[in-house]
Amino acid sequence: MKYFQPIDETMPVDQLRELQGRRLADVVARVYRDVPFYRRKLDEAGIRPQDIWSIDDLAHLPFTTKEDFRDTYPFGLLARPMSDIVRTHASSGTTGKPTVVAYTRADIELWADCCARTLACGGADRHSVVQVAYGYGLFTGGLGMHYGSERLGAMTVPVSGGNTRRQLMLIQDFGTTHLCCTPSYALLLAETADEMGVDLRKTNLRAGYFGAEPWSGSMRRAIVDRLGVEAFDIYGLSEVIGPGVASECCAHAGMHIFEDHFYPEVIDPATGKAVPDGTRGELVFTHLTKEGMPLLRYRTRDITRLEHGTCACGRTFARMERVSGRTDDMLIVRGVNVFPSQIEHVLLEIEGAEPHYRIVVDRRGRLDDLEVQVEVSPQLFSDEVKEMEGLRQRIANELHSTLNVNAKVTLVEPRSIPRSEGKAQRVVDRRQMETS
Amino acid sequence: MRVQQISIFLENRAGRLAAVARLLGDEGINIRALSLADTSDFGILRLIVDRPDAAQQALRREQFTYSTTDVVAVEIPDVPGGLAGVLEVLQDGGVNVEYMYAFVEKANDRAVVVFRFENLEGAASLLESAGVRVLTRAEVLSL
Domain with residue A192: its CATH number is 3.40.50.12780
Query: Sorting pLDDT into bands at 50, 70 and 90, what band is A435?
Result: very low
Q: Could you tell me if A156 and A88 lie in one domain?
A: yes
Domain boundary pick from B16, B34, B68: B68
Over residues A149-163, the pLDDT tens digits come to 999 999 999 999 989
Domain boundary pick from A327, A350, A369: A327
Domain boundary pick from B68, B90, B119: B68
Q: Could you tell me if B42 and B81 lie in one domain?
A: no
Mean of all residue pLDDT scores within chain A: 91
B23 touches chain A (CB under 8 A): no
A415 neighbourhood in chain B, CB within 8 Å: 63
User: What average pLDDT does the segment A347-372 reach?
Assistant: 80
Q: Could you tell me if B27 and B75 lie in one domain?
A: no
Q: Could you tell me if B136 and B75 lie in one domain?
A: yes
Cβ-defined contact of A383 to B41 (cutoff 8 Å):
no
User: What average pLDDT does the segment A64-81 reach?
Assistant: 94
Give the chain A residue nearest B69 (alpha carbons). Answer: A383
Q: What is the span of the domain harbouring residue B41?
A: 2-68
Query: Sorting pLDDT into bands at 50, 70 and 90, what band is A355?
Result: low
Q: Could you tell me if A40 and A184 lie in one domain?
A: yes
B46 touches chain A (CB under 8 A): yes
Three-state secondary structure of chain A:
CCCCCHHHHCCCHHHHHHHHHHHHHHHHHHHHHHCHHHHHHHHHCCCCHHHCCCHHHHHHCCCECHHHHHHCCCCCCCCCCHHHEEEEEEECCCCCCCEEEEEEHHHHHHHHHHHHHHHHHCCCCCCCEEEECCCCCCCHHHHHHHHHHHHHCCEEECCCCCCHHHHHHHHHHHCCCEEEECHHHHHHHHHHHHHHCCCHHHCCCCEEEECCCCCCHHHHHHHHHHHCCEEEEEEEECCCCEEEEEEECCCCCCEEECCCCEEEEEECCCCCCECCCCCCEEEEEEECCCCCCCCCCEEEEEEECEECCCCCCCCCCCEECCCCEECCCCEEECCEEECHHHHHHHHHHCCCCCCCEEEEEEEECCEEEEEEEEECCCCCCCCCHHHHHHHHHHHHHHHHHHHCCCCEEEEECCCCCCCCCCCCCCEEECCCCCCC
Q: Is the pLDDT of residue A345 over 90?
A: no
Domains of chain A: total: 2
Distance in Å, alpha carbon of A354 to nearest chain B alpha carbon: 13
Domains of chain B: total: 2
**Within a domain: residue A434?**
no
A78 touches chain B (CB under 8 A): no
Q: What is the span of the domain harbouring residue A411?
A: 331-429
pLDDT of amino acid A269: 82
Query: Sorting pLDDT into bands at 50, 70 and 90, what band is A353?
Result: low
CATH number at residue B131: 3.30.2130.10
Domain boundary pick from A277, A306, A327: A327
Cβ-defined contact of A384 to B98 (cutoff 8 Å):
yes
B67 neighbourhood in chain A, CB within 8 Å: 378, 381-383
**Within a domain: residue A436?**
no
**Within a domain: residue A294?**
yes
Distance in Å, alpha carbon of A432 to nearest chain B alpha carbon: 24
User: What average pLDDT does the segment B58-75 reach?
Assistant: 93
Q: Could you tell me if A354 and A272 lie in one domain?
A: no
Q: Is the pTM of this model over 0.90?
A: no
**Within a domain: residue A65?**
yes
Q: Is the pLDDT of residue A1 over 60?
A: no
